[in-house]
Amino acid sequence: MSEKAVVIYSGGMDSYTVLHRALNAGYDVHALSFHYGQRHAKELDVAANVCRHLDLPHQVVDIRAIHGLIGASALTDERQAMPRADYAEDNMKATVVPNRNMILLSLAIGHAVNIEASVCFYGAHGGDHAIYPDCRPEFVQRMNDVAAIANYTPVDIRAPYLHASKTDILAEGLSMGLDYINSWTCYLGQDLACGECGSCRERLAAFAAHGMTDPLSYKARPEV
């Protein structure tokens, strides 16, 4: 029987690649998505569709009750303007959701223990380090230290793209034959990706670096 693994799966480009990396490694994958009060749930619908197609166990956990505790972010507060520029510390700090990955990892670790999974994957990547404290290598190491002692059964937290760029992640996904039409990256939940938020611009730049056109439809495709 294959070793079980929990994958925190947002429906975005990075977690979509992590999900398939875990599957290709032979894990019995259990996908876990969270609705924590983000401005839209479009990526959760994308995640659900992918898991249905792959016939994977998938749970969408509704933790919107915590929104009032961590809602001071452009990702969770519609009254705040969404930064529309390339990723940079001075403009993207507005998108930090306080303690988000610690909260999600804590729940995912509990789920892993409950189903006797030894591994929990999440999609932090190298481009996040300057902006998101809970995507830094030292955070992953400390969470691993805690996950080793928080339960009778230790859980190994793995962030396989912790030192990789978005371009690197796309390269691995393309090598696996992934179609990124099955992912959603835009911070806004409109019919078309905006093409202007930092997340869209980083994604478009990754495709451009490979001389490719992103299969998603965009409201605007800025020069990257």
Class of the domain covering 4-184: alpha beta
Residue-wise pLDDT for 166-204, tens only, equals 999 999 999 999 999 999 999 888 899 999 888 899 999
Beta bridge partners of 209: none
83-92, 98-107, 215-224: segment of lowest average pLDDT:
83-92
- pLDDT > 70 in the chain, percent: 86
SS3 172: helix
15 is in an annotated binding site: yes
128 is in an annotated binding site: no
197 is in an annotated binding site: yes
- pLDDT of res. 14: 96
167 is in an annotated binding site: no
How distant, in Å, are the alpha carbons of 92, 147, 193 from that of 188?
Answer: 15, 33, 7
123 is in an annotated binding site: no
Q: How far apart are the first and last CA of the chain?
A: 46
Flag whether pLDDT at 224 surpasses 60: no
212 is in an annotated binding site: no
145 is in an annotated binding site: no
Secondary structure, 3-state, 10-63:
CCCHHHHHHHHHHHHCCCEEEEEEEECCCCCCHHHHHHHHHHHHHCCCEEEEEC
Residue type for position 44: L
195 is in an annotated binding site: no
19 is in an annotated binding site: yes
Flag whether pLDDT at 75 surpasses 70: no
11 is in an annotated binding site: yes
Q: DSSP E strands: which ranges in 135-202? A: 156-158
- pLDDT > 90 in the chain, percent: 68
- pLDDT band of 131, cuts 50, 70, 90: confident
191 is in an annotated binding site: no
Where along the chain do its domains lie? 4-184
The one-character DSSP state at 151 is S
How distant, in Å, are the alpha carbons of 1, 40, 76, 121, 125 from that of 82?
Answer: 46, 13, 10, 28, 21
Residue-wise pLDDT for 21-65, tens only, equals 999 999 999 999 999 888 778 999 999 999 999 999 999 999 999
pTM of structure: 0.91
12 is in an annotated binding site: yes
Between CA 30 and CA 112 the distance in angstroms is 9
Nearest to 157 by CA among 110, 129, 104, 119: 119
- pLDDT band of 163, cuts 50, 70, 90: very high
194 is in an annotated binding site: yes
